[in-house]
């Protein structure tokens, strides 16, 4: 059995990769260089893929910076920092990249059908305070219909399944799952800041640090500010 894993190198996608391994799949990891501010995450993705012993790891390159529209793809838009969880959940944040997961899943679908994969794993999480529209259950349901209708494999009755093992989990639950699967957190990267050291103040860092703290655990990566 083959599965394509969308791997950013973050806490969620790394846990999903290890879950796919535990589910018995031969894993083909797919990462993306879309000229994001935090290209540092691709170093983490490479380390996680190697640690997990994937069958293959590819990085697809394209440029979403030419359009911008997000703090992750436009250097003129400041990253939100030092926000409370309530502030993070109030609106869809400026770190939302227009249609990013739709683009990612389209690449994964093409790759998956080409290699005869059964599943695509993606680490979307509906309970994440960021509230991204392309991380919600109704979006995944809609994309599953696209997978069924838009491919030869789907039309012949064997559509590739989108697997979202984290979609209903809290961040603390994800860390506990990752611990049980042996995810090497020291190789992961969540920060949006794009520096050599995690900033500790962007939304991604604050969510991650809060979850480790709630569990009484120490996040093993280095932060400029905790």
Annotated binding residues for Zn(2+): 191, 199, 202, 205
DSSP 99: T
> What are the phi and psi torsion angles at 198 (to 5°)?
-60, 140
Which residues are annotated as part of the binding site for ATP? 7-17
HEC sequence for 133-146:
HHHCHHHHHHHHHH
The annotated binding site is made up of: 7-17, 191, 199, 202, 205
Q: Can you tell me which residue has the tokens 């794009």?
A: 194
Whether the CA torsion 226, 42, 13, 89 is positive or negative: it is: positive
Contact 68, 74 (CB under 8 A): yes
Coil, helix or strand for 61?
strand
- Cα separation, 32 vs 45, in Å, equals 10
State the residue for tokens 């259950």: 137
């Amino acid at each position: 059995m083959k599965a394509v894993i969308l791997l950013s190198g973050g806490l969620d996608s790394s846990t999903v990769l290890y879950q796919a391994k535990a589910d018995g799949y031969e894993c083909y990891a797919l990462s993306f260089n879309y000229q994001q501010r935090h290209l540092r995450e691709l170093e983490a993705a490479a380390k996680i893929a190697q640690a997990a012993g994937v069958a293959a790891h590819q990085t697809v390159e394209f440029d979403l910076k030419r359009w911008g529209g997000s703090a992750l793809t436009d250097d003129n838009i400041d990253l939100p920092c030092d926000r409370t969880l309530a502030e993070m959940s109030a609106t869809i944040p400026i770190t939302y990249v227009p249609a990013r997961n739709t683009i990612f899943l389209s690449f994964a679908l093409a790759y998956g059908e080409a290699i005869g994969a059964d599943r695509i794993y993606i680490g979307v999480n509906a309970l994440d305070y960021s509230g991204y529209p392309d991380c919600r259950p109704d979006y995944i349901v809609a994309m599953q219909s696209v997978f069924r209708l838009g491919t030869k494999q789907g039309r012949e009755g064997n559509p590739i399944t989108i697997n979202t093992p984290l979609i209903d989990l809290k961040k603390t639950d994800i860390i506990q799952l990752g611990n049980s699967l042996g995810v090497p957190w020291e190789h992961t990267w969540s920060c949006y800041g794009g520096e050599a050291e995690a900033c500790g103040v962007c939304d991604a860092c604050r969510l991650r640090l809060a979850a480790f703290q709630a569990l009484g655990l120490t996040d093993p990566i280095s932060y400029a500010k905790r």
